[in-house]
């Protein structure tokens, strides 16, 4: 059984308005799980201070990474903080290919995908690359012509 159950209920009622600010029920549930998992209630951390330090707004998206914070009484509490993915974005990879001179000759999107898969170990779909390629054409980093089968070929100026 949970120790100090009445105290936990009381403190959850106090932070309920803040938890309810999150539109996603999944996020709300995650916050409540963190409260129980990290024993925030049992350590009697003041609600406002704990919520500020937990960075609850960072829980909306992304993967999580454990981090410790110190409370007023000197105890440590494990929290979760948003981290970003280490995966290279299609835009960054295409920019890298431009700098390496890959687009000195005309390249179809399928060739680009194959090259990224074989040489750079990044798997992307056509739809993942089409928008960044279009942006590069619009901002002048690349040019394109319509080749065989009405498919575009991308190249440097």
SS3 41: coil
Q: In sequence order, what are the residues at sequence separation of 6 or more whose Cβ sits closer than 8 angstroms to the Cβ of residue 150?
A: none
pTM: 0.47
CA distances 116 to 58, 63, 112, Å, are 32, 25, 6
Q: Mind listing the pLDDT tens digit for each residue in 51-92?
A: 555 555 554 445 555 566 666 666 666 665 555 666 689 999
Contact indicator for 117, 125 with CB cutoff of 8 Å:
no
Contacts of 54 (CB under 8 A, 6+ apart): 34, 40, 69, 79, 80
Which of helix, strand or coil describes residue 128?
helix
DSSP helix/strand/coil, 121: coil
Mean pLDDT of 118-142: 93
Residue 73 burial (C-beta neighbours within 10 Å; 0-12, 13-18, 19+): exposed
Domains of the chain: 5-83 (no CATH), 90-155 (1.10.10.10)
Give 147-156 pLDDT, tens digit per residue.
888 899 999 9
């Amino acid at each position: 059984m949970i120790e100090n159950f009445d105290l936990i209920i009381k403190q959850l009622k106090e932070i309920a308005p803040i938890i309810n600010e999150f539109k996603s029920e999944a996020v709300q549930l995650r916050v409540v799980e963190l409260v129980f998992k990290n024993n925030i209630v049992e350590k009697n951390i003041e609600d406002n201070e704990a919520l500020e330090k937990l960075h609850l707004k960072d829980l909306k998206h992304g993967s999580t990474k454990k981090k410790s914070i110190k409370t007023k009484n000197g105890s440590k509490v494990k929290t979760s903080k948003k981290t970003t993915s280490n995966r290279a974005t299609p835009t960054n990879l295409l920019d890298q290919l431009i700098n390496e001179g890959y687009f000195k000759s005309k390249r179809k999107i399928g060739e680009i995908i194959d090259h990224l898969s074989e040489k750079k170990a990044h798997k992307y779909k056509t739809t993942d690359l089409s928008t960044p390629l279009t942006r590069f054409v619009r901002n002048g980093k690349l040019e394109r012509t319509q080749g065989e089968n009405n498919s575009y070929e991308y190249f440097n100026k």
